[in-house]
Amino acid sequence: MTKIVVAVKYVPDATADRTFSADNTVDREGVDGLLSELDEYAVEQALQVVEAGDGEVTVLTVGPEDAADAVRKALQMGADAGVHVQDDAIHGSDAFATSLILAKAIEKLEYDMVFFGMASTDGGLGVVPTLVAERLGLPAVTFASEITVDGDTVKIRRDGDVATQEIEASGKLVVSVTDQTGEARYPSFKGIMAAKKKPVEEWTLEDIGVDASSVGLDNAWTKVESYEPRPPRTAGEIVTDEGDGGAKLVEFLAAKKFV
């Protein structure tokens, strides 16, 4: 019986016009949100591990009311249960507070492994998994491109910049999953119907024993001072190839001293 917790984030749609609110935090109202696409890969891998043996997948999210959508999507894909940590004091949290809330919620759950996406599609820091592992005192294998569970041992392949590594770990473990692990499934009609009956717990900071004074915008260790939209690019020159496209391209490059 393998119990896997998958942390999933609810994020503003990357293809819409994302912006900031008056307090310099991400505007999560003006743009539709969704389950961070990269977390779908983590849900998929967890489901595969459980399907290959015997087990249970619980999805966990920290976010405002709408973040329940992210949990629902994962349940529709096949996860068994959900946990949603929601509290007004969480607004504006930095990576450290987020990792604290996640770690405390995970401690309250029964688990063998915790899966994460490689990075969210909004903050995109990619360090929440490693920070949660640090807080829980667990090994972290991040940026996994292949995961095999063999009894008590987990074998993971990491495809880095200069080398491919094989990692072995046993016992409780944190894993972050890349988009190289293979396509995530779409919820089936049956999955969508079944999700309606699955349990979702709502927890506040008090439920997980986190003090409001250690999270939120006012207590963040990092502060956004100001933001500005990038100046629009001035319209470039576009030519249609009439047998001389390559030559014209090089003319441009030469004028810019690249050749």
Ligand X SMILES: Cc1cc2nc3c(=O)[nH]c(=O)nc-3n(C[C@H](O)[C@H](O)[C@H](O)COP(=O)(O)OP(=O)(O)OC[C@H]3O[C@@H](n4cnc5c(N)ncnc54)[C@H](O)[C@@H]3O)c2cc1C
Residues within the interface to ligand X (CB under 6 A): 7-9, 26, 36-39, 42, 60-63, 93-95, 98, 102, 116-117, 119-129, 179, 222
Considering only residues 92 to 121 of the shown chain, the ones binding another protein according to CB under 8 A are 94-96, 99, 118-119, 121
CB of 190 to another protein, least distance (A): 28
CA distances from 86 to 57, 68, 79 (A): 20, 9, 20
| Piece of the chain touching another protein by CB under 8 A; list 46-54, 56-64, 161-169, 185-193 | 161-169
| Binding partner of 213, given ligand X, another protein, none, CB within 5-8 angstroms per partner class | none
Distance CA 166, CA 192 (A): 36
Q: Which is nearer to ligand X, 17 or 193 (CB)?
A: 17
Choose, by CB under 8 A, the member of 81, 109, 127, 200 that binds another protein.
127
Record the tokens describing residue 238, joined without a space: 């576009």
Beta pairing, strands 55-62 & 81-85: parallel
User: Residue 72: in which H helix or E strand, if any?
Assistant: helix 68-77
Q: Does 131 interact with another protein (rule: CB under 8 A)?
A: yes
| Binding partner of 191, given ligand X, another protein, none, CB within 5-8 angstroms per partner class | none
Among 171, 186, 168, 178, smallest CA distance to 116 is for 178
Helix 68-77 vs helix 37-52: crossing angle, to nearest 10 = 40
Binding mask 10-39 for another protein (x = CB under 8 A): ----xx--xxx-----------------x-
| Binding partner of 144, given ligand X, another protein, none, CB within 5-8 angstroms per partner class | none
Dihedral pair phi/psi, residue 132, rounded to 5°: -65, -45
Distance CA 31, CA 24 (A): 16
CB of 215 to another protein, least distance (A): 14
CA distances from 138 to 7, 39, 57, 112 (A): 15, 20, 19, 11
* Nearest-CB residue for ligand X: 123
Burial bucket for residue 231 (CB in 10 Å: 0-12, 13-18, 19+)? exposed
| Binding partner of 93, given ligand X, another protein, none, CB within 5-8 angstroms per partner class | ligand X
| Piece of the chain touching another protein by CB under 8 A; list 49-57, 61-69, 194-202, 214-222 | 214-222
